[in-house]
Amino acid sequence: MNFKVSILGAMASVIVFGSASAADLPSRKEAPVVVPPAFSWTGWHGGISGGYAGGNSEYNATMYSITAMPGASWSVNPSVGTSGWLIGYEAGYSWQLSNNVVVGYESDFNYANVSNNGGMLASGGVNSRLNWFGTERVRFGYAMGRFMPYITGGFAYGRINGASWTSGYEAMLPIGTSGSRWSGGWTVGAGLEYAVTNQISIKGEYLYANIGVPNASAVGWAGNTFATVNGGNYNLNIARAGVNYHVKSFGALLGIDALGDF
């Protein structure tokens, strides 16, 4: 009986000693897994964009007879194809909501070289050129991680070099050409933006824009016909690509995180 008690006591001592020794050993825990924060479209962005712009320019012209039927007048509406390019800068701010909807505002301003080859009208023609183009738009997108398809729309404006009259086969006297004027209109479109890194994104975009041609943009006399151009529209189809730099706040841009987000 004493032998059994001794054996049991020895076993108990070994178990207690082993437990105490194990408790004294340094613990080996797995290193915590660091999960990078999910990308968010919230923040400021700015960059450059450029591409093709083309469509047609429509004019509201009134013709007046001088000799054949003095005092007679009639309206004509020539439409002339346009083509060219534009390049400029863009900037804006976006908010990514909890349901991944992205709401934002974007502004852009571009140098443009979009013109037509002249539309023959009676003994003259109509020529014009879009020199500057800009938009102020809202954007609605859906964040699919780093991809964001979006739709956009808002105000469009441009500076149009006033229409003029020309003639290749009959003498003509241009009178009162107005030169360049700013004009406004509207735009709608859609695009896709992809964040290559947390700071750099690339995008492709299509916009349709309608800008009014200023009234009384040109007046001329050709042969026995006197004519005035009383406004019209520049219809633009714009396909462009761009690259943007993103910051979460002005503080981050300046390296002063304490400024926080705006």
Could you report the per-residue pLDDT of 229-256, keeping only the tens digit for each? Answer: 667 788 999 999 999 999 986 655 555 5
At residue 260, what are phi and psi to the nearest 5 degrees?
Answer: 70, -170
Tell me which residue range forms the domain holding 49: 38-70+94-112+121-241
**Confidence class for position 8, pLDDT limits 50, 70, 90:** very low
CATH number at residue 98: 2.40.160
Mean pLDDT, all residues of the chain: 77
User: Does residue 208 surpass a pLDDT of 90?
Assistant: yes
> Range with the lowest mean pLDDT among 36-40, 178-182, 250-254?
250-254
User: Does residue 42 surpass a pLDDT of 60?
Assistant: yes
How many folded domains does the chain comprise?
1
pLDDT score at 215: 62
pLDDT score at 187: 98
Q: Cα(195)–Cα(151) distance, rounded to whole angstroms?
A: 17
Which pair of structure tokens corresponds to residue 110? 């571009």
User: pTM of whole model > 0.85?
Assistant: no
Query: Taking residues 172-178, what's their average pLDDT?
Result: 46
**179 CB-contact burial (10 Å; exposed 0-12 / middle 13-18 / buried 19+):** exposed
User: Does residue 20 surpass a pLDDT of 60?
Assistant: no
Structural domain includes residue 27 = no
pLDDT score at 22: 47
3-state SS track over the chain: CHHHHHHHHHHHHHHHHHHHHHHHCCCCCCCCCCCCCCCCCCEEEEEEEEEEEEEEEEEEEEEEECCCCCCCEEEECCEEEEEEEEEEEEEEEEEECCCCEEEEEEEEEEEEEEEECCEEECCEEEEEEEEEEEEEEEEEEECECCEEEEEEEEEEEEEEEEEECCCCCCCEEEECCCCEEEEEEEEEEEEEEEECCCCEEEEEEEEEEEEEECCCCEEEEECCEEEEEEEEEEEEEEEEEEEEEEECCHHHHHCCHHHCCC
pLDDT score at 133: 97
**Confidence class for position 28, pLDDT limits 50, 70, 90:** low
Which pair of structure tokens corresponds to residue 105? 């505002």
User: Does residue 16 surpass a pLDDT of 70?
Assistant: no
**Confidence class for position 70, pLDDT limits 50, 70, 90:** low
User: Does residue 171 surpass a pLDDT of 90?
Assistant: no
Query: Taking residues 214-221, what's their average pLDDT?
Result: 56
Structural domain includes residue 7 = no
Structural domain includes residue 147 = yes
* Alpha carbon 241 to chain centroid, angstroms: 9
Structural domain includes residue 218 = yes
Q: Tell me which of 196 and 19 has the higher pLDDT.
A: 196
Q: Dump pLDDT digits (tens) for 95-115.
A: 999 999 999 999 999 999 998
Q: Tell me which of 254 and 121 has the higher pLDDT.
A: 254
Structural domain includes residue 5 = no
Structural domain includes residue 197 = yes
Q: Which of 88, 237, 224, 82 is nearest to 163 (CA)?
A: 82
Q: Which of 79, 85, 76 is nearest to 56 (CA)?
A: 79
Structural domain includes residue 3 = no
